Structure 1
Amino acid sequence: MKLSTSGLGQQGQHEGGGGEKKCLNSELWHACAGPLVSLPTAGTRVVYFPQGHSEQVSATTNREIDGHIPNYPSLPPQLVCQLHNVTMHADVETDEVYAQMTLQPLTPEEQKDTFLPMELGIPSKQPSNYFCKTLTASDTSTHGGFSVPRRAAEKVFPPLDFSQQPPAQELIARDLHDVEWKFRHIFRGKNLTPLL
């Protein structure tokens, strides 16, 4: 989730009403994808593996591999392509992130042309301040919220106003699908444990 105290966080890329596309927050997408993921930039050349793509599609759509993967005997095992567009997405049901790429195969003559890549790809744009926590049963109970590690709270959240009693603030987070979540950040107990 992208946190904001004003509720004006960046929007997520998904199909909105009327087929309108919104841009996913790149930092949030990369945080979900992990630090080892980088995306090639538009204009670069990439190698496309049709057989591997067919196998991946078959596996992710829960189809049996035998007999359902198309076989194109005249198609080479790999194609050198020009990358025209990259869009970041997140599955609505699983929140799994993926990228959709528009490719154009290059002719053998185009492949011989000198190509100087501007950059090797977009490195992972992991947000500099975030934390992950696996929620426990007590975190998800209706008894008031879940605790946040103190270091994470101090690093990620805006500072609390201690002139208020108790010190508290409202945080608004947007998830990958641009759903807004409101939290109340407070300190609880003698140890002043950060709590959402």
Structure 2
Amino acid sequence: KVRVRVTVRTNLSQLVGGATESTVIARVGQGIVSAIGSCNSYRDALADPMVITREVLAKGLDSQTAFAMVSIDIADIDVGVNIGANLQIAQAKADVRIAVAHAEKRRAMAVAREQEMVALTRENEAAVVRAEADVPSAIATAFRRGQLRVRHHPRRIQTVGQSSLSDAGSRTGKLRLPSVSSGSNTTDAWETEGGACEVRR
């Protein structure tokens, strides 16, 4: 808030038909607002109040009026609310809220993705269990069709890392033989310490 004292001189040639006192007051107020608005900071106006006076007088606001402005004196400057600073603070708070909202959105998406992966893992585990459950049935079917037969014979197999021979009746087998092709039929054979197993296809 700025209070000014304006000294004017009557212009007799414009007294009749010219702009009156109210016009001069309005023009001076307009010039003061423009001068303060052109300052980089309110401190500039406080440090040099004459900058307002020079700005107003340089505009020639008394033209075509019944008065000629002689001087403009700054009586008082009262610094009120810094609207610009308040706007910047409000903008900063809004930016913070937007950033928090984006972060919360990303966190929620990450949690949802994690739950999707957990569900997919459970689904794959269930598929493995179902596949394992089909193994005994497949073996039984192979037995019935004659595609699978088991033959036992004594055999001594040397286990890895030991120099002694293990008992042929042991149940811990460690040897797998590769598939053997004979004509159009393929035979998969496994040999263990307890016997051998063949699958013909």
TM-score, structure 2 normalization = 0.18
Instruction: Choose between structure 1 and 2: higher helix proportion.
Output: 2
TM-score, structure 1 normalization = 0.18
Larger Rg: 2
